[in-house]
Structure 1
Amino acid sequence: MATVKRKAESGSRKVDAGSGTKKVPPAYRNSPSRKEAWRGPIERLAWGGMGVGRSEDGRLLLLEAPLALFPGEVVEAEVIWKARHGEGRITHWVTRDPRRAQATCPVAESCGGCELWEAGRHTSELKRQMVADLLRRQVGEGVPWTWHPAPDTARRHRIQLHWDGAELGYFKRHSHALVPVTECPAAAQPLSHAIPRLLAALDGRALPARPGRWELSTGTPADTVWATDERGRTWILEPDGWHRNAEPIRHRLGDATLQHEPGAFFQVSPPWAAEAFGGLLKSWEVKGHTLYDLYGGVGLFSAMLGDRFSHRVLVESGETAVAWARRNLEAAGLPAECLVADVAAWVPEGLGVPEDVILLDPPRAGLEATLCDRLATAGAGTLVLVGCDGAAFCRDVKRLSGAWSLDQLAVLDLFPLTSLVECVALMTKRP
């Protein structure tokens, strides 16, 4: 049974319980120092990699761990109580699941970049459990969905490092303190090998040494490495060192070739993302007359879907991204109307005809409520919704469900070694 020790008993509040009073845990808002030591088993995994425990009176505890959690493990944690539940961080494992694996990253426990290192070959199954818990609670028990695990070869093609004037590394979890690194096993090998080269250049003043954020990125295939500072200035790594270069990053993804400026947003693991999205949309037979590619970026989905559409309308708020989308689609021989606009403001009432497809890949926050209202009036027959935040994605699916029926649901592990996933829904317009 879970046990609780109070660290700040004097801070507990009392409420009328009918025949007397009873103590309730202090709420988080009262003081972040009022914590309790908790010990007990992990019942299951919840969305975001949280472990679910339970207090003696039955209330839920959401527990965070630095490396991975397995259901059934007994842990100790420091808990902060909110009004109806507790949240905490695990400080010690009393019993460890025998499936745990030794982390191959030397800073896995402190670095804020990955949280599933010790899951080993069971990472995919643990992530699937997290997703299942979210979908069960948010979408419903009876909704079928498919899970698409990441291959062992999937690595990051973009990493963000921080330079404080003396050391280069990632931020520590829940902190802006630096964790110095000289390699990153989660990154594509050329990026990992470029970290000490970047450190040496910063330390030797061969690159601007003002403290700040640096992004290392590579194309597809991962051969050339770019370094971009906070001001958007870019250098390319040559055998003799870093050289200023404004050349775009190029990704050859199956039949599509996409370019974008260094430092710009693109898929974290482009080869695996193209394979996963491409196979999924093909199996769903996504095709039609006009593709409305909303939040279209530099044209990934328009290029990927190729000649399955007669026409494309791409809408994106970033001018530079739209400029690259025009170039990418023109080079691919795909006629497109590429517009710089805020999607929520641009989408009109009654968008499209039944042969058209609306594809949305919004930012992490998901769709605005007013946009969902306008999409309810759309004339297009098919809608594809992509989301990198599972909770926001489920909220948007429910918002759209009055006018759109959910036909297919898939979850792609596009972010290996983290609790993040990409959700994709295929919806058709209700009569």
Structure 2
Amino acid sequence: MQVTLRVERYADQGRCVGHIDGQVIFVRFALPGELVEVSVDLPVRAKRRFLTGEVTKVIEPSPDRVEPAWPLAGPLAWGGGVGGADLVHVSLAGQLAWKQAVVQEQMHRLGHVDTSVKVLRAPGDEERGGLYWRTRIDLIADEQGRPSMRRRESHERVAIDQMPLATRELNDFASRLGVWSGGFEPNSPIRLALPDQQEGGVEDNFACIVSSKVKAGQRKVHEQVDVEGQTFRYEVDATGFWQIHRQAPHLLATAVVRAVKANIKAVQAPVIWDLYSGSGLFTLPLATLIAPDAQLASIEGSRIAVAQAHYNTQVAAVGKRVMALAGDVARTLERGLPGKLAKPDAVVLDPPRSGAQAAVCQQIARSGAPVVVYVACDPTSLARDTATLVGQGYHLSSIEAFDIYPMTHHVETVGVFTK
């Protein structure tokens, strides 16, 4: 079904809101204020609470609308449809405005706090036009063995010979390996990883992994991150989690260290919890830069990541001051931490997209931690957890956001909560 409507406002998940005969519709590839033709997704049921659809024609465009820099990621009606860049139709300035509006709206609607958020662009992204920032990409081989991406809401696969969101170095690396030429077993998952800052003396610091098998490079890649003038080095599983934007580890680790320092600067021998700690991105600078006698407890669900965190802290010579625990965060905190570690002076958490959720937020509050630094990749989850933390006696003292996912609706937010 085709309809014509006036787009009203931003929504989450890269969509905008409109109405059809009084019923809400969430529209992909739209912008507020536009008059557009929309293809309504099927099935359409009379009792559905809302509809979804996608722009097929723009009649009155927004000043923020641009031609998609990556047409394959644009609307289906324009020959696009692959995922991964749902704001490709929006100017770079418009993307920042969109993300600011969504964070503020979700914090107001679900977090019950009113706040002004500044969304910061990563250095170099504007010059690159919002492209060439990913250090890792995941593809799948199509029926002809070519690297491909799935077309949205279908099983169709679209063969690609470049990935415009990946760094130029990663695209060149894929070319040298012959990835774009194909030859893979159909349906094989393909992961490519190429750290942006190459650590000197490390050979084969890249990974091409097909169907869980290393085809080139090595499974463990080496990352280095500069924080407050000091370089931290990490060994990371190429198939595991690591911030994918080339600047994200530096930007987020710097923000976390700055926030913790500002709030516990008078504390002697501080205790810090690093929850959902991964391979130790925040653990190393927290253990090194906050205080020479800081004690840390890091908790992470992936045993592989915890093993690497343990290795990374040993290499950084802070292993004796870090207890790296493997397990579910909520259950680990429920069991309790030993001795002084049970009473943190600060808590840092970087949960998955679903957020920390009420149980973990309540456990943090029961610990008595006077400051909580919450790193969030989803503003909706952050807002829900904000409501829980505020209900437990915390105040949102500052919030900032980082546009480390250009061309997408995703935004990384750092909120600082104090008692």
TM-score grouping bracket, smaller chain normalisation: 0.7 to 0.9
SS at match of 2:314: helix
Are the structure 2 counterparts of residues 172 and 61 from structure 1 closer, same or farther at C-alpha, using a change threshold of 3 Å?
Answer: same
Alignment partner, residue 308 of structure 1: 290
Q: Which residue of structure 2 aligns with residue 343 of structure 1? A: 329
SS at 2:366's partner residue? coil
How far residue 298 of structure 1 moved from its aligned partner, in angstroms, is 0.5
| 1:375-409 Cα shifts (integer Å, max 9, x gaps) | 33112221122221221221111122222222222
Distance change >3 Å, CA 176–CA 225, structure 1 → 2: farther
Structure 1 residues 257 and 270: alpha-carbon distance in aligned structure 2, compared to 1, 3 A threshold? farther
CA contact (8 A) 2:189 2:210 kept: yes
RMSD of equivalent CA atoms: 2.6
Q: Could you say which residue in structure 2 is the equivalent of 1:9?
A: none
Instruction: Tell me which residue corresponds to 1:61.
Output: 25
Is the CA contact (8 Å cut-off) linking 1:292 and 1:357 kept in structure 2? yes
- Kept in 1: contact 2:65–2:89 (CA 8 A): yes
- Quote how far apart the aligned CAs of 1:374 are: 2.4
Find the aligned partners of 1:49 and 1:203 in 2 and give their Cα distance: 31
Structure 2 Cα separation of the partners of residues 388 and 322 of structure 1: 21
- Distance in 1 (CA, whole Å) between partners of 2:64 and 2:190 is 36
Structure 1 residue 189 displacement after superposition: 0.8
Q: Partner residue of 1:102?
A: 67
Contact 2:274 2:296 in 1 (8 A): yes
Does the aligned pair in 2 maintain the 1:344–1:368 contact within 8 Å? Answer: no
Pick from 100, 119, 138: which aligns with 1:128?
Answer: 100
The offset of 1:50, in angstroms, is 1.1
The 8 Å contact of residues 349 and 377 in structure 1, kept in 2 or not, is answered as no
Following TM superposition, by how much is the alpha carbon of 1:220 offset from its aligned partner in structure 2, in angstroms?
A: 3.1
Distance in 2 (alpha carbons) for counterparts of 1:406 and 1:98? 34
Indicate if the aligned counterparts of 1:272 and 1:414 stay in contact, CA closer than 8 A: yes
- Whichever structure has more strand as a proportion of its residues is 1
Q: Deviations over 1:104-126 (max 9, x none)?
A: 32423222111122223332223
> Which residue of 88, 93, 103 maps to 2:58?
93
- 1:321 aligned partner, one-letter code: A
Number of equivalenced pairs: 379
- Which residue pairs with 2:240 in the alignment? 264
Could you list the runs of 5+ residues in structure 1 that have no partner in the other structure? 1-35, 237-244
Distance 2:377 2:121 in 1: 15
Alignment partners' CA distance in 1, 2:272 and 2:256: 17
What is aligned with 1:13? none
What is the aligned partner in structure 1 of residue 368 from structure 2? 379
Instruction: Tell me whether 1:180 sits opposite 2:159 in the alignment.
Output: yes
TM superposition score normalised by structure 2 = 0.82
Give % identity.
26
Q: CA deviation at 1:303?
A: 1.7
Higher relative CO (Cα under 8 Å, sequence separation at least 6) belongs to 2
Query: Could you give the per-residue CA deviations for residues 191-228 of structure 1, whole angstroms, max 9, x where no partner exists?
Result: 11233445558745xxx635311111111316954211
Find the residue that maps to 1:190 and give its secondary structure.
Answer: helix
Match of 2:197 in 1: 221
| Aligned-partner Cα distance in 2 for 1:355–1:317 | 20
Partner of 1:149: 121
Give the distance between the partners of 2:278 and 2:212, measured in 1 at CA: 21
- Equivalent residues in 2 for 1:28-427, closer than 5 Å: 36-57=1-22, 59-65=23-29, 69-79=30-40, 80=44, 82-109=47-74, 110=80, 111-122=82-93, 123-140=95-112, 142-151=114-123, 152=125, 155-166=133-144, 167-199=146-178, 203-204=182-183, 209=185, 211-221=187-197, 224-236=205-217, 245-254=218-227, 255-279=231-255, 281-282=257-258, 285-287=262-264, 289-305=270-286, 306-309=288-291, 310-334=294-318, 335-348=321-334, 356-403=345-392, 404-427=394-417
Distance 1:402 1:299, change over 3 A: same
